[in-house]
């Protein structure tokens, strides 16, 4: 299927659909979520809704209207999707051209489309820019994604498919659209949320799946150069699930390693048990 897009109450095509002065356009004043769609069902939707509201609260915006979101998601999923992405964005609505907000209602943009699964393994590139773990948007899934665009372009120019950030303390943080785990002495370790990393849905599910399967994990601060010595590396994200990393820059790593393989199996079991939320007939 082609992409289906719903904006503020209706499915739209190529016609103008969002006000040019919407604050999400002029200053990136909004938040979003991306969900995995499998056989027209949405995976972990409730968790994504909850994180959306946390991001909105952090931005000083009201909680999203779940009724509006359900209507919109149902509309964009009327056509079947075997594997794809659902993205929903909530902005502060029409506002001044500067950073001040107006009093307009929130804007809602929801889109869904088929997507290609990620490759079985990935190469990542550490970029020279940092995440600010003390910044106003730390841990917020904001539409202000300029840093990620530049970092991902840098990684792709060097043959990678994801960029990895350190934070301002020189600690391992996250990717542009993923969380990162490393395996040290057989333990899967990921940076804590205090590092500035986003509270990834798949990250949390991976930790839960590991606990259920008795696989040791830890959340702790790590120097960025741990990527030079760790035994395994993998990424987690909504559409990657758990993706092993076969290279960090020029360093080659066996992928998937034994711990990553165990976690992939545990995550798959948790995913089957969770199921999906359906809005359209299959």
- Write the pLDDT tens digit of every residue in 164-207: 999 999 999 999 999 999 999 999 999 999 999 999 999 999 99
The residues of the chain that CATH labels 3.30.470.10 are 4-114
DSSP 77-115: TSS--SEEEEEEEEE--B--SSS---SPPPEEEEEEEE-
DSSP 134-167: TSTTTT--BS--HHHHHHHHHHHHTT-SEEEEEE
Mean pLDDT of all residues in 89-110? 95
CATH superfamily placement of domain 122-272: D-amino Acid Aminotransferase, subunit A, domain 2 (3.20.10.10)
The residues of the chain that CATH labels 3.20.10.10 are 122-272
Look at residues 122, 94, 88 and name the one whose alpha carbon lies nearest to residue 106.
94
How many C-beta atoms lie closer than 10 Å to residue 195's C-beta?
Answer: 23
- Write the pLDDT tens digit of every residue in 45-75: 999 999 999 999 999 999 999 999 999 999 9
| Cβ atoms of residues 141 and 36 within 8 Å | no
pTM reported for the whole predicted model: 0.95
- Write the pLDDT tens digit of every residue in 219-257: 999 999 999 999 999 999 999 999 999 999 999 999 999
Q: How far apart are CA 69 and CA 65, in angstroms?
A: 6
Q: How far apart are CA 72 and CA 245, in angstroms?
A: 36
Classified by CATH at the fold level, domain 4-114 comes out as D-amino Acid Aminotransferase; Chain A, domain 1 (3.30.470)
| Chain mean position to CA 69 | 18
pLDDT at 33 over 70: yes
How many C-beta atoms lie closer than 10 Å to residue 54's C-beta?
Answer: 16
Q: Write out the two tokens for 245.
A: 């990393």
pLDDT band at 263 (very low <50, low <70, confident <90, very high): very high
| Cβ atoms of residues 171 and 195 within 8 Å | yes
What pLDDT, on the 0 to 100 scale, is given for residue 279?
Answer: 87
């Amino acid at each position: 299927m082609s992409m289906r897009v719903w904006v503020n109450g209706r499915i739209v095509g190529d016609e103008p659909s969002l006000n040019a002065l919407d604050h999400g356009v002029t200053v990136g004043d909004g938040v979003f979520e991306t969900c995995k769609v499998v056989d027209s069902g949405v995976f972990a939707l409730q968790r994504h809704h909850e994180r959306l509201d946390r991001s909105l609260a952090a931005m000083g915006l009201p909680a999203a209207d779940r009724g509006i979101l359900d209507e919109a998601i149902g509309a964009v999923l009327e056509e079947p999707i075997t594997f794809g992405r659902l993205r929903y964005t909530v902005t502060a609505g029409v506002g001044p051209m500067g950073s001040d907000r107006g009093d307009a209602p929130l804007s809602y943009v929801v889109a869904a489309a088929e997507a290609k699964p990620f490759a079985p393994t990935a190469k990542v590139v550490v970029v020279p820019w940092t995440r600010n773990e003390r910044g106003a948007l730390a841990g917020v899934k904001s539409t202000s994604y300029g840093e990620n665009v530049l970092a991902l372009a840098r990684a792709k120019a060097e043959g990678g498919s994801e960029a990895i950030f350190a934070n301002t303390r020189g600690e391992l943080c996250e990717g542009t659209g993923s969380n990162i785990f490393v395996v040290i002495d057989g333990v899967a370790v990921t940076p804590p949320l205090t590092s500035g990393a986003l509270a990834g849905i798949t990250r949390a599910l991976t930790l839960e799946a590991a606990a259920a399967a008795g696989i040791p994990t830890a959340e702790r601060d790590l120097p960025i150069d741990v990527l030079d010595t760790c035994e395994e590396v993998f990424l987690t994200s909504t559409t990657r699930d758990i993706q092993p990393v076969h290279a960090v820059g020029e360093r080659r790593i066996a992928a998937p390693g034994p711990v990553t393989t165990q976690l992939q199996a545990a995550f798959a079991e948790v995913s089957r048990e969770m199921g999906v939320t359906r809005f359209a007939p299959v």
